Structure 1
Amino acid sequence: MAKALATSMRALRRGLLALVILALLAVIGAGAAAWWWLERPLPLAGANAELSIEAGTSVRGIAQGWVDAGVQTHPALLYEWFRWSGQSRQIKAGSYEIAAGVTPVELLRKMVRGDEAQAAVRLIEGWTFRQFRSELARAEALKPTTAAMSDEEIMAALGAPGRSPEGWFFPDTYAYSKGSTDLSVLRRAHQAMRKRLDAAWAERAPDTPLASPEDALTLASIVEKETGQPADRGKVASVFVNRLRIGMPLQTDPTVIYGLGSAFDGNLRRRDLLADTPYNTYTRGGLPPTPIAMPGKASLLAAVRPQATKALYFVSRGDGSSEFSETLADHNRAVNRYQRGGARP
């Protein structure tokens, strides 16, 4: 009897040991399978997959969202990985994009870092606000929230009610997360221009005839439009500053063209120079009422601290550079030489 009992106990121990071994093998096998899955690239339905995660989206919703976006795996696998990692609560809201080759580990790391998909829009020196708005409307994955807004409504939304938008946005390349609004880009460009203008005004020459930063911005916009070669920028600014000092009309074509608006057909005629508008600097003295374009940093600095010259005139040489003159007689000779009677300041 005792011998039989001992035999049964040994058999039971062997059976339990086998079960434990099988369980350990199952755990090891599951772990190996999980590790294999985590390190394998996620299959995608297309070349890439994009997902915008709103604040407050559940972890399960994020997992399902990626599957809906084209990640070809079961959402439960992603959900369990996000949850098991202990980092699910660190996933940041935003717009994300993945390409072929991304593993589940890399996908989670991207969302935890907040490594959002980004695009960029370039706003060019010398553009008008209308051109700015047109470029933003074409920008990739940028929500057009200002499409139905007037210029006045946009400026009010930016905290500058009653101000003309012309000139008040700094030309630069602006990167943004996909799904951002065009108003957010405009806000950044507006803040950048205010900062650049304040910095330039702080460096103004002591004898500048400009009365305010707004005047500097307006003059800078003219300098931006009139400068063909960067090396001439300081001299171009000096011509207009010299004219302001002595009360001489600026007589600059770009302001006339701006005043004509949509009526300008690309050919500036003598009658246009004689047609009075608030922006016609042939018929009116001083600066125009607002900037005429978006100046860059170099034009802002040139406006407040121009090159020291006595020049009152300049004319294009036809290669982008300008010929500067101190007297009308010299200017007329330069016009005859380079423009054959063309009218320029």
Structure 2
Amino acid sequence: MTNKVLIAGASGVVGASAVEAYLAAGWDVVALSRRAPEVDSTRPFQHLPCDLRDAASSKAALAALAGVTHVVYAALFEQPGLIAGWQDAEQMRTNLAMLDHCLTPLLANPANCIAHVSLLQGTKAYGIHLHPMPIPARERAPRDPHPNFYWLQEDWLREAANRHGFGWTILRPQLILGRAHGVAMNLIPVLGAYAAICRETGQPFGFPGGISYVWEAVDARLLANVFVWASNTEAAHGQHYNVTNGDVFEWRNLWPAIADALGVEPGPDAPLPMAEFLPAQAAVWDRIVARHGLRRVSIDALLGESHHYADFCFAYGATTPPPPAFVSAIKLRRAGFAEVCDTEDTFVHWIRDFQRRGVLPGR
């Protein structure tokens, strides 16, 4: 039987790379998302337009699918402004309902034979948005006692797996960098827009955040390869895995490579809230788009909610370092997945990808 994966949230940062990875591995792919994912692969795949917040339309879209054997669930609902929504009960209920709307029609259809479901979490599982977390955070730690849609989705998934007899794997990546724009959390379009506006207006391209700190990241391509590995590895079923590139970074040390890829000179620190600055530069961005012959993507459509995420990631306004957020990826390595990435290369790769596709101006 040919493996057939349904990727929910296929147009997002994680989902688009997952589509690429499963196509490269020879799988049949159904990409479920409101807009079609943009991929380089020339292998055909099915795009299924769907808004998982709508139960009726989700059921109508998914009920006719047949032959699905695996699911990668990377769909996500975030509220405008992003950060406050992380503790909002309604947002948690919405994300639980979306998982239900995706999996219930698939599991109810005898034409599908679901063997495995992968689910995405993150370091909010360790409470990093609320309090300092253990260093390094390990998957074997007890569940952090705070309200989180991660727990709602995980409990739903465990119960469904027990009833229907499928395996599951849950991944917890760090800061994810990838292809998609107009999404909740991708720093590449933020960095690209900021650099282009600095160049257009004659401002120095200085780091806009707060105090120095050290962090980890993960390339969406690496994360996608973990999904494929987990789908094929029975020992990974019923497991949680932290996922990182394998190195660490500090923004000011990374800044010269980011500036070079974007074709600007790095300047001195320039604390600036991206959430306020970038939307106010809409007319400047439109001028840049016209001058460089870029895709006609407005600043709002480029950023999504990622400018709010940038202020969080850059520690804008912070005078003391944020709590350290390091996770151990030893469990994943010991389980057999040994791929790593250089984080500087990750930033440069995705910047150049945005430039190649005409979303950001070239150097």
- Asked whether the two chains share a fold, i.e. TM above 0.5, the reply is no
TM-score, normalising length: structure 2: 0.23
Pick 1 or 2: higher relative contact order, CA cutoff 8 A, min separation 6. Answer: 2
Higher helix share: 1
User: Which is greater in Rg?
Assistant: 1
Higher strand share: 2
